[in-house]
Amino acid sequence: MTDPITIYSLSDSAVDNAGGRLLHIYGDFANQFGFVYNVHVGPTGTIADPKAYSGKAGSKTDIMYWNDVELRCYLPRLDAGTIVNVLIRRLDGAREQLIPNVLAVLPQQYFSSVFDLRAVLPPYYALGPRNLDNVEPIP
């Protein structure tokens, strides 16, 4: 029988589908030093969903707790237009908690990147949509 994990909140309620976004999971992780967790993010809410990544070399999806109230992981690539579940599970199966329908997955947005890139390109490469706040008015 597994013990539930008290989860207070997640850092995000909406993410893009590209993956790689840092997700903070806030909850009760006291006395969990040395235990390895897996975080599954997907539509089924089971261990069949893709695992989140640790972001540390050598421990691909094995996530260690950050401190007594926080677990950090990086999201996998997800399907846009869905609402996914997050399953936090200790590797030995002693503790787990499912958070249903918690993350809305949006298509990746490039709006801010376009204008950041335009600022460093020469004028003849500055193509595409224009942010009218950045365009100098004609006298």
Average pLDDT score over residue span 25-40 = 93
Centre a 10 Å sphere on the Cβ of residue 104 and count the other Cβ atoms it contains.
14
CATH classification of the domain holding 100: 2.60.40.10
Per the structure, the count of domains in the chain is 1
User: What domain range is 77 assigned to?
Assistant: 7-108
In a domain, 15, yes or no: yes
pLDDT band at 40 (very low <50, low <70, confident <90, very high): very high
Buried b (16+ CB within 10 A) or exposed e, 106-139: eeeeeeeeeeeebeeeeeeeeeeeeeeeeeeeee
Average pLDDT score over residue span 90-112 = 89
Percent of the chain whose predicted confidence (pLDDT) is above 70: 78
pLDDT band at 38 (very low <50, low <70, confident <90, very high): very high
- What tokens appear for 56 in the block? 């540390």
